[in-house]
Structures are given as C-alpha cells and as structure tokens.
C-alpha cells in the first residue's frame, strides 16, 4: 500500500512532503513545520472555497497553533505567522500529519 506521501497527486506537493519527511528523520523540525505550513497555504490558494464562510473558520481555527499559526490577511489570502523558531518532534509531526491529511482529502 502506498504511503501518504506517495498518494499525493500533485508532483510539487508530493516533493514538498517528501522533503518534510526527510527533514523529520534528520531532526530538522522547524523545516518540517515550514514545509508543511507552506503546503497548507498552497492548498488554500488552490482551493479558495476552503476559505469561504464556515469553511474558513474551520480551516483556520483547526490549523495547529504550536508556534506557527494561520491567519487570513486583509486581502483574503492565507499566511503563516511565526511565534517562535524552535519546534519539537511531536509539534513537527502534528503539522505534517494535519497538512498531509488535508491535502489528501482535497484530492491533490
């Protein structure tokens, strides 16, 4: 059975998650959070309906808030706000798993 990373349809996103997975194995936890967060922002840009009405609330509020959080700026565009620079293994895994599950659910 293919891994979650292998099941991602979009080549660029799949590569980003492969890099994040490698960073996780290498102990580069901030890089994992950066790559995962960037992938989530890209997902929201490609699927703008995820930022409409109740969906916006759900997709912004449930994004992990463990040192980096998601906001929607005045132009309606998603962006990540960084609260700190260091992350633990469990925090990095949380961002990775949350984001990859959302990408797979969106069919990308």
**CA 25, CA 32: separation in Å to the nearest integer?**
10
* Cα angle for residues 14, 18, 23 (degrees, 5° grid): 145
Contact 9, 100 (CB under 8 A): no
| pLDDT (tens digit per residue) in 9-37 | 999 999 999 999 999 999 999 999 999 99
How far apart CA 65 and CA 11 sit, in angstroms, is: 27
Per-residue pLDDT reduced to its tens digit, 49-89? 998 888 787 878 889 999 999 999 999 899 999 999 999 99
**90 pLDDT band (50/70/90 cuts)?**
very high
* pLDDT of 60: 81
Ranges of each domain in the chain: 4-105
pTM over 0.85, yes/no: yes
């Amino acid at each position: 059975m293919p891994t979650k990373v292998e099941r991602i349809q979009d080549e660029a996103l799949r590569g980003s998650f492969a890099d994040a997975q490698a960073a996780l194995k290498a102990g580069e936890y901030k890089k994992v959070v950066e790559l995962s967060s960037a992938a989530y922002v890209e997902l929201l840009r490609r699927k703008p309906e995820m930022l409409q009405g109740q969906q916006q609330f759900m997709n912004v509020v449930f994004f992990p808030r463990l040192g980096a959080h998601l906001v929607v700026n005045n132009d309606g565009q998603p962006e990540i706000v960084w609260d700190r620079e260091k992350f633990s293994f469990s925090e990095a895994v949380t961002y990775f798993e949350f984001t990859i599950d959302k990408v797979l659910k969106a069919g990308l």
